[in-house]
């Protein structure tokens, strides 16, 4: 019986086997490296995307700080107290104004339309006496009932306009009795007639 052994074919098969194993091993190594690299990249990328950047964090903290300061200060600028306080303090109906020695020679008074003001001037401590009272705008503030008592106390009534707003200066003069010359202003009341605020 004749047995023929083909050494060349067996060697070729063995080489093909080794070559195939090498390819498989190379592919496995490359796949492992690739997956390891990709996984690290995704992890780094994921971690970066999940955390805000320093600029974003600073902006957010600045915004929250600004919002906190805005809420602490009550937001925008508030309204002016002077504009609202003056009309709110205006006298209405009837009011008395008394001038005593040593008081300021000028005074301001805010009233509502139709207000009646009783002006009383106490006796002077110098050699002068109250002489007369005048209104710079009778259409807004009309004077009536001027009189001077025997003790030197002067009285007059101010009737303010009932419709229109406006202003007038009420000047009271004084002079030395039995001395020639005109009486000079000794006290001035600045009256402002301010309408009632409108509703709605």
* Cα 32 from chain centre: 66
| Banded pLDDT at 164 (limits 50, 70, 90) | confident
> What percentage of the chain exceeds 90 in pLDDT?
47
Cβ contacts of 137 within 8 Å, gap of 6 or more: 166, 167, 168, 169
| Predicted local distance difference test score (pLDDT) of residue 16 | 65
| Banded pLDDT at 77 (limits 50, 70, 90) | very low
User: Quick check: 150 pLDDT over 60?
Assistant: yes
Cβ contacts of 154 within 8 Å, gap of 6 or more: 120, 121, 130, 133, 146, 147, 148, 172
Buried b (16+ CB within 10 A) or exposed e, 77-109: eeeeeeeeeeeeebbeeebebebeeeeeeeeeb
DSSP 3-state of 63 = helix
Comparing 163 with 28, the larger pLDDT belongs to 163
| Predicted local distance difference test score (pLDDT) of residue 197 | 83
User: Quick check: 181 pLDDT over 60?
Assistant: yes
């Amino acid at each position: 019986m004749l047995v023929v052994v083909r050494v060349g074919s067996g060697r070729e098969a063995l080489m093909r086997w080794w070559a195939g194993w090498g390819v498989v091993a190379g592919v496995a190594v490359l796949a492992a490296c690739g997956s390891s690299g990709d996984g690290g990249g995704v992890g780094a990328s994921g971690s970066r995307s999940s955390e805000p950047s320093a600029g974003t964090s600073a902006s957010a903290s600045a915004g929250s700080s600004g919002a906190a300061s805005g809420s602490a200060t009550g937001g925008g600028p508030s309204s002016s107290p002077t504009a609202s306080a003056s009309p709110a303090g205006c006298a209405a109906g009837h009011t008395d104004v008394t001038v005593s020695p040593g008081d300021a020679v000028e005074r301001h008074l805010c009233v509502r339309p139709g207000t009646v003001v009783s002006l009383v001037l106490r006796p002077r401590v110098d050699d002068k006496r109250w002489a007369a009272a005048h209104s710079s705008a009778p259409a807004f503030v009309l004077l009536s009932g001027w009189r001077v008592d025997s003790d030197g106390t002067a009285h007059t009534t101010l009737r303010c306009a009932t419709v229109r707003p406006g202003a007038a200066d009420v000047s009271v003069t004084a002079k030395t009795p039995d001395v020639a010359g005109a009486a000079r202003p000794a006290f001035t009341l600045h009256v402002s007639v301010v309408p009632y605020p409108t509703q709605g």
